A and B are shown apart, each in its own frame.
Chain A
């Protein structure tokens, strides 16, 4: 007898801890569906979903598309390259044209922070934010927490460190909100130039020494250096970043404890994570991808229920 408190999934900031629980419980059931011989349910057969991607994506777009197809929704895909956006069409016009074709839900990725919020105020469809610039990436944070819950039993009380380019990372911000709402302790770690100035006001711990951060945590979520978003030099060279912040198997083994290693992808092997660390038993990176489909099915299903 439960439903979400929101009509759109714009960011983790806007949803309640109960919403997160409901999404997880629903995702448990969908994960079960994904392990059946026939991995498909007819729930969304009368719903059309448009995946509107104004920015590059592999995992998220494939994961959403698969989730939609597993729920029997009709799917159309749009990416800005090769579209009329290049001819000067505005975001609202583009989306309204898509909606004129009777689309019920929009999954959108955009390079501008707040693009999904903007859209939700102007159009009647349900909106799922699949990443808006450096702001939020809610389904990634949900699947990260879901993967922690799967590996460690629960998220509450766990110590999670997010390592890397916090300044440009929507995954970091969504994860901070999601983890705090579930009662986990959060630390961010990275070169001081890549930590937002007021990050402490979110109630997270700040650490610049990756070794100390790893010794503190139960879970390490390692992020990519987002060179495409960096307008200026934040550190001297990638090689230097790797020397100070790169994580390898030797370092993990020397901790004398079990830690869970996560990465939202795409991994730059040899930069933030060495290959032997990424492929070690600590890593749940591929579980994250697997859980992504179940989480996105749950989100789409629960939002469709709200209409």
Chain B
């Protein structure tokens, strides 16, 4: 297994800061906007975005967690079953401008499931998608992100991994992992 660093912690911080300013450009004071992090890994990105926005704006933007397990289209088709995570949304999505947040956009299937899952909480005014990494040319569905941290050109056999200190990683970082035959 080869692990290549593509974004280090300083760059990642700048990236999150830039994404936050782009969000402010579109959402102003966030009075009608909410953030939804996709479980399990979008949680950390959403928390980071919320904390950074709180520093800039001096207010907490409502942030929830959305689990898509029961809405996935690969139930009973996967080799390894996935465990469900908690959904935690203590505000109404109805009429809100929703920003879905995830770490890596790959096939787009999780985002499709997330759109489906989110609708169960009401009809949002609009939905945008923010991802740290957009893997190019890998989409199975016509889904494009609104805000992108970094575009990455990668092979299907490779994996993009975003690590956070909150998950006991040494540093925040984004890695490109290539499996090699040993």
Contacts and interface: CB of A to CB of B under 8 A. Distances in A.
Given A1-B80, A42-B116, A43-B70, A32 B75 contact: no
B80 A41 contact: no
A36 interface: yes
A39 to B, nearest CB: 8
B41 interface: no
Interface string A43-71: 11010000000000000000000000001
15 contacts: A1-B83, A25-B84, A26-B84, A28-B86, A29-B67, A29-B87, A32-B86, A33-B87, A38-B120, A38-B121, A41-B71, A42-B70, A42-B71, A43-B71, A305-B75
A37 to B, nearest CB: 6
Interface in A115-168: none
Interface in B12-53: none
B75 A40 contact: no
Nearest to A305: B81
Interface of A: 1-3, 25-26, 28-29, 32-33, 36-38, 40-44, 46, 71, 301, 304-305, 307
A189 to B, nearest CB: 38
Given A29-B85, A44-B75, 12 more contacts: A1-B80, A1-B83, A2-B81, A25-B84, A33-B70, A37-B120, A41-B71, A41-B120, A42-B70, A43-B75, A304-B75, A305-B81
Contacts of B121: 36-38
B76 A32 contact: no
B119 interface: yes
Q: Pick the 9 closest A-B CB pairs, nearest first.
A: A41-B70, A38-B120, A29-B84, A43-B70, A3-B81, A305-B81, A36-B120, A2-B83, A43-B75
A32 B70 contact: no
Given A29-B86, A42-B70, A305 B76 contact: yes
Nearest to B73: A42
Interface in B110-166: 116-117, 119-122
B36 to A, nearest CB: 14
A54 to B, nearest CB: 29
A2 B80 CA distance: 8
Contacts of B1: none
Contacts of A1: 80-83
B63 interface: no
A1 B82 CA distance: 5
Contacts of B75: 43-44, 304-305
B152 to A, nearest CB: 26
Contacts of A305: 75-76, 81
A98 B121 CA distance: 37
Contacts of B84: 25-26, 29
B82 A307 contact: no
A307 B75 CA distance: 10
A38 B83 contact: no
A26 B75 CA distance: 15
Nearest to A297: B70
Contacts of A26: 84
Contacts of B70: 29, 33, 41-43, 71, 301
A182 B122 CA distance: 38
